[in-house]
Amino acid sequence: MLILYYFNWAGTPEEFKELGGRWKSIIEGIKGIDLKGVFAPSSEWSAVALLEAVSFEKGLEVFRTYIKKYGPHPKIPLAKIELLFTFEELGYPP
């Protein structure tokens, strides 16, 4: 499954780099999830992080771990998570 984490950024470039470092350290500690990158979308959002996960639970673990360790980020006033499942992951026949 793919996870798109859209967010608006209200901080400095240095704070953005710090955020990326926090994400990477959390993701490196969780097997079954990979950060593909952070991109500039062609929409109203400031940025979007693309993650690939083997399961919904692994994706949820990333967000729960971040919140538990750091709390909600004060420089992200608004965010949206979009989950993309394959038809096979949803149980459709091949």
Radius of gyration of the chain (CA): 14
Provide the pLDDT for residue 74: 95
Residue 21 lies in a domain: yes
Residue 18 lies in a domain: yes
Residue 93 lies in a domain: no
Q: What is the pLDDT of residues 21-78, one digit of tens each?
A: 999 999 999 999 999 999 999 999 999 999 999 999 999 999 999 999 999 999 999 9
3-state class (DSSP) for residue 66: helix
- pLDDT at position 94 over 80: no
Task: Please tell me the total count of domains within the chain.
Answer: 1
The one-letter amino acid code at 44 reads E
Residue 94 lies in a domain: no
Residue 92 lies in a domain: no
Residue 24 lies in a domain: yes
Provide the pLDDT for residue 93: 86
Residue 91 lies in a domain: no
CATH code of residue 75: 3.30.70.920
Predicted TM-score of the model (pTM): 0.91
Enclosing domain of residue 13: 2-84
Instruction: Compute the average pLDDT of residues 15-21.
Output: 97
- Output the six-digit token pair for 36: 């593909």
